[in-house]
A and B are shown apart, each in its own frame.
Chain A
């Protein structure tokens, strides 16, 4: 069965620190990869997505992610986090012929001012 694994469940950083959140998926075919963010009390918003082409994808608010096919990974990065980045981050994979998203468990990021 397809699955998505996020290695870090809870990350605490100080402002200006660099961020990398891990995401691995298990599926051998063509996949489309997403990172969603959920700010406290709000709904999920799309940060970035990868369908094809350049494996380094840039999203909103300075986030980027790199698709490494050989490692089945799609890690999220940001060079310098801000307090406003405090949120829960979800990696998701869509594959096959449907729009069904398989989500990871989520990573809670807490940024200290």
Chain B
């Protein structure tokens, strides 16, 4: 049974970079797409993008200029960086297995952007 666990700082200052990691267990990261989605009261569920185990990516056009995703197959994990954050980036961030559609989700991590 696949399990995903998000980790990273719960508080990030405005203009800094938000960095999260998703640790995957129960399945090899190889051979699959892996997604990041966020949820906030203001925007609801918002797709950030997904990455293939080989490193190919597809990002939300509205976030593309600030987002980078990467994969570490040796650690069976993948990561998200969002640069130049503002309070509008405050949300619960989820990682998930699959891209179209994301099928198994982590429990989520609340990230607050505040000085």
Q: Do A and B come from one complex?
A: no
- Contacts from A to B (Cβ < 8 Å): none
- Contacts from B to A (Cβ < 8 Å): none
